[in-house]
Structure 1
Amino acid sequence: MSKRVLIVDDAAFMRMMIKNILTKNGYEVVGEAENGAVALQMYKELKPDLVTMDITMPEMDGIQGVKAIRAVDPNANIIMCSAMGQQSMVMEAIQAGAKDFIVKPFQQDRILQAVERVLSRG
C-alpha cells in the first residue's frame, strides 16, 4: 500500500508541484490544505502517513499547524517547507515537532529524500 500524504501550502502551484513529485514516485496524495486550520481538520479525517507543511500561511501558520496536529497525534510525521532565510523559523518548527524540513525552491531529490527518511523512521 502506498504511503498517504497531506500537502499544506497556501500557494496552489506549490501544492501542485509537491503533489506531482510525490505521485510520480508512488505516494498517494490524500488531501491538500491552504493553511494550518484546514490541515488540522483534514488530518483528523484522513489520518495521512505524512504531512508537508509550509511555514508562512494565513489564518494558522505552519508552526501553529505542527503544534495543533501533534496535539492530536504525537507521532505525526510532518516535514516543514520554508523559503530561504527562515532558519530561525525552521528551528522553531523542529522544536514544535516537525521531523525534517525542505527549502524552497524545491529540488525533487531533496523532497523524496526527506519523505523517505521521515517515513522509514516513523
Structure 2
Amino acid sequence: MTMQQAPPRPEIDRVATGAFADLFHALSDATRLALLQHLAIGEHRVRDLVEHLALAQSTVSKHLACLRECGLVSVRTQGRASWFSLAEPELLARLLAGAEQLLDATGDRVTLCTHLMHPHSHAPASSSVGVS
C-alpha cells in the first residue's frame, strides 16, 4: 500500500494580499464609490461634488484625500481651482464592472452577510447612486 502525498499548498503572498485589502478598504465606503462614479464622467471641482452629492465640503475633501493618497484620483490645479479626475479610468471601470458581475451572481448575499456588519455600518448603499 502506498501513501499518497497531499498536493503542495500554494504560498500566500502576504504583501500582495495586504495591498489588495488596502485597495478594497479604500473602495469600501459608499461616499468614496459615489465620488468615483461622478469622476467617471469627467473632472469635477470639490464644490461641484459637494453640490451633486449634497455632502459637506469637509466630507468630500476628506474622501478625495483618501482616494488621492491611494492613487485612485489625481488632481490638477487651474488658477485657484483644483480639478479632480480618475487616475486610471479604464482600470477602475473594469474593476467596478467585475464587481457588478459578481454582485449579479451572488444576489443580495453580500448585503445580508453578518460578517461584514460592524458598529459603524450604515444601511446598504443603493447601487443606483445618481451620477450628475
Instruction: Provide TM-score, normalisation by structure 1.
Output: 0.28
